[in-house]
Amino acid sequence: MSTHVTLKQIIDEFELETVCAFGEPETIRIEVADVTRPGLQLAGHFAHFGPDRIQLIGNMETAYLDSLSSEERLARIDALFSRGIPCMILTRQHDVFPEMEQCAERYAIPILRTNEITSEFMSSLIKYLNVELAPRASLHGVLVEVYGEGILILGESGVGKSETALEIVKRGHRLIADDLVEVRRVSDTTLLGRAPEIIRHLIEIRGVGILDVKELYGVSSVKMQENIHFVINLELWDEKKNYERVGVNDEHTDILGIDVPSITIPVRPGRNLAIIVEVAAINFRQKQMGYNSAKALMERVFGNKTNHGANGTN
């Protein structure tokens, strides 16, 4: 099933005025994030034209249409509307040409309007569509914001993800999603995570039940969405497994085709996971800023060995 946004959602999101209410916005599906300003199409050029894109009319298109005779204007607009475009949006509160209304009625295509500047509205609309139409996946995990970093905590059920998230919130950080994280790939390098609306701001603690984090700790304890910068994999301590102790080797977790930096933290009684997550977030930020404490230690150790060897030679 393809990802889509209904025209009704776009109308509500951008508070668009419905000038010609033809068609049914609830059933009109937008499935591409591209938006077209149809200057070339109004001039008669339709090569590589995408009829499934929202059409945006600004100052230039309006001025061009205004320069045409009524008969020619009708022919140009009819040629555009006959392609089956989803809708037409007029920016800067431009008036609708009578020929537009005539074609809108003929092909049952809605005409909408905003008072925003064309370039600004187009940028906002494309950004919105890129997020809403992005490839997505639902992951069983917890997403928190720690020191400005989006930390995705993954692990088997019962390993302690929600308890860790609650302690993180108590320490002044923010919860984005518990139990189920909706992840969207909004660009080739960016993953955006959020909670499904039905469980937003809620957290489940076994033995206690469902808690509303926003009501318990205030609006500053939650956030609607956050980019995923780092992944922490929690797993029960395995005595037979050799865990990373220095941190020289870099781990990555593949999510929707993007390799996200990650670490694996073994869980056993007595370990304060919230503090470990905080330190991991700070350490990740240090690495992003060019400092790697593990590599600095290795350089110090091998540097000292080199110096001792040189001293022994002299």
Beta bridge partners of 234: 155, 265
The candidate with the shortest Cα–Cα distance to 148, out of 292, 285, 288, 289, is 285
The catalytic site residues sit at: 140, 161, 179, 245
CA 55 distance to own-chain centroid: 24
Distances in Å between the Cα of 116 and the Cα atoms of 34, 80, 133, 156 are 19, 23, 23, 48
Token duo for residue 151: 């930390």
Positive or negative, the CA dihedral 203, 205, 210, 216 is: negative
Token duo for residue 253: 């977790």
Buried b (16+ CB within 10 A) or exposed e, 111-138: bbbbebebeebbeebeebbbbbbbebee
